[in-house]
Structure 1
Amino acid sequence: MDPTAVEGTDALDPDLRESLDAPADAPAEGIDVRDAPAPKPLTRTLETLESLPAETVLLQRNDRVPVHLFDRLDERGYRYETLERDGEALTAIRRE
């Protein structure tokens, strides 16, 4: 298993998905970029999104709200919602 992957249970947790306005029935993938130096979280997230099927929700776990990512997501037509909890930021990203 990829050591930077978000635990599958987090990516599939229905309560977390509801909090992040992510469809409960959509497939999900997760990445953990908490320890990655800038700009790796941004580039890794965008690269991962490009490789995912359109219906898949990406759950990014970061140590901060990824504000520099948001403009890039807007430009590419993605919806996103971020939840801060327990000293980290969880962002669900999906195509509109």
Structure 2
Amino acid sequence: MSEPNDHRELDALTDAGVPETLAREHVDVADLPPPEPLVETLERLGALPDDGVLVQTNDRVPQHLFPKLEERGFTWEHVERDDGTVLTAIWRTD
């Protein structure tokens, strides 16, 4: 799976409400078995700078991740790509 680097995908994230001014980091967990996508994403978020957004590529909507993000004070938006993968952008809430 490729990183979300084409303009259509980045525009879709922006259209979904992801701030354009944040530096984007990417993690592709689409090929990992559960619960590794959740664990990997939460570990990466621990090192995310305040002015960053983590864009997760997954093979499904990460439903189990969303409550964990809320507990930790993160905001997220997701978009489904034409190839069936899901991009979830995650950033800190002020």
State the distance in 1 between where 2:39 and 2:61 align.
15
Please state if 1:89 is matched with 2:81. no
Structure 1: runs of 5+ lacking an equivalent:
none
Count of matched residue positions in the alignment of Structure 1 and Structure 2: 91
What TM-score results when the alignment is normalised by the length of structure 2? 0.86
Question: One-letter code of the match for 1:22?
Answer: V
Identity percentage over the alignment?
48
SS for the counterpart of 1:53 is coil
User: What do residues 61-80 of structure 1 show as CA deviations (whole Å, max 9, x unaligned)?
Assistant: 00000000000000000000
**Deviation of residue 49 (structure 1)?**
0.5
CA RMSD of aligned residues (A): 2.0
Please state if 1:55 is matched with 2:55. no
Q: Contact between 2:3 and 2:57, CA under 8 Å: does it hold in 1?
A: no
User: What do residues 2-46 of structure 1 show as CA deviations (whole Å, max 9, x unaligned)?
Assistant: xx8x63725xx6413313311111111011000000000000000
Q: Contact between 2:13 and 2:78, CA under 8 Å: does it hold in 1?
A: no
State the distance in 2 between where 1:33 and 1:85 align.
15
Please state if 1:30 is matched with 2:26. yes
The 1:85–1:66 alpha-carbon spacing in structure 2 relative to 1, beyond 3 Å, is: same
Question: One-letter code of the match for 1:58?
Answer: L
Q: Which has the higher helix share?
A: 1
What TM-score results when the alignment is normalised by the length of structure 1? 0.84
State the distance in 2 between where 1:9 and 1:64 align.
19
Q: Contact between 1:80 and 1:94, CA under 8 Å: does it hold in 2?
A: yes
